[in-house]
A and B are shown apart, each in its own frame.
Chain A
Amino acid sequence: MKIVATKPELCIGCKACEEACVKVLFKDTDTEKSAIVITELGNDKFDINVCNQCGECIEICPAQAIYRNKNGVVMIDKDKCVHCYACAGFCPTLSMRYHKEVTGPFKCIACGACTRACTTGAIYMKEV
């Protein structure tokens, strides 16, 4: 399967990836709703946080609403989700998202839009 892989040392903090992400996920411009999150660490260094599709959230979900699709990407079935956010608290990399205006948790769906928006190669699609 393909995941969004990162090279934080190449990140310049332009946040083009966040803008691309919210456009795909929500047809929105509010980057607070992005599934990929860039955080400035100081000294021109940045952290890139995005789901690595490890799937630990699948096991923690009490409603069996989280599953792998045929491409291996971890997805959320919104009809089944009961909005408990156990997945958000138990994500090893804290990559399951919550936003006040979004119903239920959301995450990276490995669509690649962010990688296409990245001008430095700090994020890229990787086969694992």
Chain B
Amino acid sequence: MECKNSKDINLEELKRQRVRLHESSFEPKEIYRGYADRSLYINVTTNEVKVKKISNDMKEKFTGGRGYGMKYLWDAVNPDTRWDSPENEIIIAQGPIGGITQYPGAGKSYVVTISPLTDLPVDSNVGGFFGPLCKFSGFDALEIQGKAENDVVIFIDGDNNKVIIEEAPGECTNSHILAKTLTEMYADSEEDKMNVSVVSAGLGAEHTRFGILNFSHYDLRRKECKLKQAGRGGIGTVFRNKKIKAIVVKRSGIKGDLNNPHDLDTIIKLGIKLHREIYENDTKQCWMRVHGTTQLVDAMNAHDLLPVNNFQYGEHPDAPKIGKNSFEKIFDRSNVDGCWYGCTLQCAHGITGLEIKTGPYKGQKIFTDGSEYETLAGCGSNCGIFDPYQVSETNFYCDTYGLDTISFGTTVGFVMECYNRGIIGKEVTQGLDLNFGNWEAQMELMHQMARGEGFGVVVGQGIHRLKKLFVEEYGADKEFLHDIGMEVKGLEFSEYISKESLAQQAGYGTANKGPQHDENWLIFMDMVRNQIPTFEDKAEALFYYPLFRTWFSIMGLCKLPWNDIMPADNHLTDEPAKVPEHVENYIALYTAVTGNDFSEEEMLLQSEKVYNLQKVFCLKMGKGLREYDYIPYRAMGPVTVEEYESRSERYDKHLKDFVKIDPDGMTVEEKIKELRKYRESQYQTLLDAVYKRRGWTKNAIPTIERLKYLGIDYPDVVDVVKKFL
């Protein structure tokens, strides 16, 4: 359902069109030490709604957030389940620390489903108020299964302890209008809008494999719904396939003690300390409160790490146009740009009055969130586009249509290179001139995705399927497409050039859900600062950081306040990359919320249980072995002559210093070949070291001993692993 403008919405008419399918009440439940210890299960095929108790074993082994999501999904699906099978679930879960208002970054939800891109379990984190409001309504997780016949809205009323499912034919599907419509519909007053949060997707999610979920929160000052995205892996596509138009939660009376923590005093003191650190240091460090993540465009460009023209190059002279200085002027920063109460790091900026030039909202002046780094790099530089207003519009439409800016940008970059090289022509693109830099063509592709027509729908299937199509239907060179198609396991790369960082290459390759940087981001440690020179050092980093960062996902925390703000004396510590004082904060926070004694070792162990379950889950779904950790060569080194020549001095030196070959007299093709042989062999050696450190076999399979050590040697988990050992 498309509509032009939120001002045209008639709430009474929309309510009149509703058909109630289910209404039930649940017992209220206070949170105790961070947990409600129950989840809400909703089946949209049968409209069954039930409150499930979370067992002590589940809590002990999987902790919360992504851990709960993975376990519920594991129990729900079988190896033949695909993204659009009715038994596939979408689980939205918080964690025990999630929802505290005092420590920055404590409003994250973690969403899990079987991905339409990878056929694997995918997890994606998202801000916004939904997670905390859902938890304070009495649920640690929300588990959605089944497929509705017609579009439905699910309402979780945490004030009156009710769940209502209604057919909702009238509401606009696109998120910027839908979130505002439903917020107004369910709130009793302007101030009450802060107590409502909406999960929605958009028209683009219906016709592509990389649909997202938008999680809203109401900005009282701007009087706008801000949207944060569970972006990776196509969760919005699953959402719309289930014919869910939106999930709404309402819970009023938010206070700082709703988690009923063991030691509120410690939480408040830690919170005030970090607020002060941000107040004093942000403009000396990352400038998140001013530039958000846009400052990364400049930083990545300066280190040759910014993807340009489908990851061919790492810098571009026009990159600053979509960097921090541009957005400092374009953002209408407010002092409350956090995505949950108490996040003073406030990276979530916005643009008011952006004039839209294309598509159904052409001519309107709208409010939009962001832009964020990944969007600027993926939809901007990676497609050869360097106009901040154009990329902001791309960002707006991606959000409202429910499209992942990373998969969209990386996929369109790939298609543009195929078009530029003549691998596909206008007969394939259906007349679109997809040269790098052609923003109008990029936007037309996106509008086609929303309309469900044209080449846009083809592109919306993602790089993995496009490669097959271009090879089988249009005679493209399979090996070359494999080299330049930036995907692993079916998921598109996030926006960092990893050519000169072996550790980052393996970080991308071994990431359970596909090449996303939220498991680890090791480029600076590895390439810039040379802090992890040996294979063992890199393997240790690839053990520690994915587990450390998994911990945020099982707690309901955001990663940014860990290392995008640091104590002033952090550089004097033994391991500045770990930000030891903040790790201590997290350990103290966990104890303060749950009352359990805790250490860094236990933190990693908690994560390792979840991480290994997810790994075995990948095996269960048929894609967990070593071969699925291989990455396209463009993520390792130069594929083409022009790529080599653009950095010939660096690559020649690499040949001399590491490969021990004198490049003088060699052709560029010969040099590319020798460099490739060396780098691919290095990658394989590192995989061996990483698997060994993780307690896996050389074929990337967790051993039975490891599973026993982790306490997740359930019979059905062991059965999966046994088949491969």
Contact = CB atoms under 8 A, between A and B. Distances in A.
A5 B342 CA distance: 30
A63 B221 CA distance: 10
A84 B101 contact: yes
A120 interface: no
Contact of A98 (B101, B268, B279): B268
Interface string A54-90: 0000011111100000000000000010111110111
B341 A88 contact: no
Given A83-B257, A84-B256, A98 B342 contact: no
Interface string A89-114: 11000100010100010000000000
A89 B257 CA distance: 19
Contacts of A100: 265
Contacts of A98: 268-269, 272
B101 A82 contact: yes
A82 B342 contact: yes
Contacts of B221: 64
A84 B277 CA distance: 15
B336 A62 contact: yes
Contact of A86 (B191, B255, B257, B342): B342
A86 B268 contact: no
Contacts of B273: 89
Contacts of A64: 220-221
Given A64-B221, A89-B279, A83 B102 contact: yes
A35 to B, nearest CB: 16
B338 A62 contact: yes
Contact of A89 (B101, B191, B255, B278): B278
Contacts of B275: 85-86, 88-90
A61 B221 CA distance: 11
Contacts of B255: 82-83
Contacts of A84: 101-102, 256, 271, 341-342
Interface string B96-109: 00000110000000
A104 B254 CA distance: 13
Interface string B275-306: 11111000000000000000000000000000
Contacts of A88: 272, 275
Interface string B66-104: 000000000000000000000000000000000001100
A86 B265 contact: no
Contacts of B341: 62-63, 82, 84
A86 B103 CA distance: 9
B335 interface: yes
Interface residues of A, number: 19
Contacts of B523: none
A83 B253 CA distance: 12
Contact of B256 (A60, A83, A94): A83
Size range of the chain B interface in the assembly: 20 to 34
Contacts of B276: 89-90, 94
B344 interface: yes
B458 interface: no
Interface in B222-277: 254-257, 265, 268-269, 271-277
Nearest to A63: B341
Nearest to B280: A89
A7 B279 CA distance: 27
B46 to A, nearest CB: 38
Contacts of A82: 101, 254-256, 341-342
Contacts of B342: 62, 82, 84-86
B194 interface: yes
A62 B222 CA distance: 12
Nearest to A59: B335
A61 B273 CA distance: 17
Contacts of B271: 84-85, 89
A83 B254 CA distance: 9
Nearest to B335: A59
B344 A89 contact: yes
Q: Most chain-A CB neighbours within 10 Å: which of B254, B335, B338?
A: B335
B336 A89 contact: no
A63 B194 contact: yes
- The listed residue with most A CB atoms (<10 A of its CB), out of B265, B274, B275, B276, is B275
A64 B279 CA distance: 19
Given A84-B102, A89-B275, A60 B344 contact: yes
B349 to A, nearest CB: 15
Nearest to B276: A89
Contacts of B265: 100
Contacts of A85: 102, 256, 268, 271-272, 275, 342
Nearest to B274: A89
Nearest to B340: A62
Interface string B332-348: 00111010011010000
Contacts of B101: 82-84
A31 to B, nearest CB: 19
A90 B256 contact: no
Nearest to B344: A86
B336 A60 contact: yes
Which of A60, A89, A104 gathers the greatest number of chain B CB atoms within 10 Å? A89
Nearest to A84: B342
Interface of A: 59-64, 80, 82-86, 88-90, 94, 98, 100, 104
30 contacts: A59-B336, A60-B336, A61-B336, A62-B338, A62-B341, A62-B342, A63-B194, A64-B220, A80-B191, A82-B101, A82-B342, A83-B102, A83-B255, A83-B256, A83-B257, A83-B268, A84-B101, A84-B256, A85-B268, A85-B271, A85-B275, A86-B344, A89-B275, A89-B277, A89-B278, A89-B279, A90-B275, A90-B279, A98-B269, A100-B265
Sort A-B residue pairs by CB-CB distance and give the 10 closest, nearest first: A89-B275, A83-B256, A84-B342, A59-B335, A84-B101, A89-B276, A62-B336, A82-B341, A100-B265, A88-B272
Given A84-B101, A84-B256, A85-B272, 7 more contacts: A62-B341, A83-B257, A86-B275, A89-B276, A89-B277, A90-B279, A98-B272
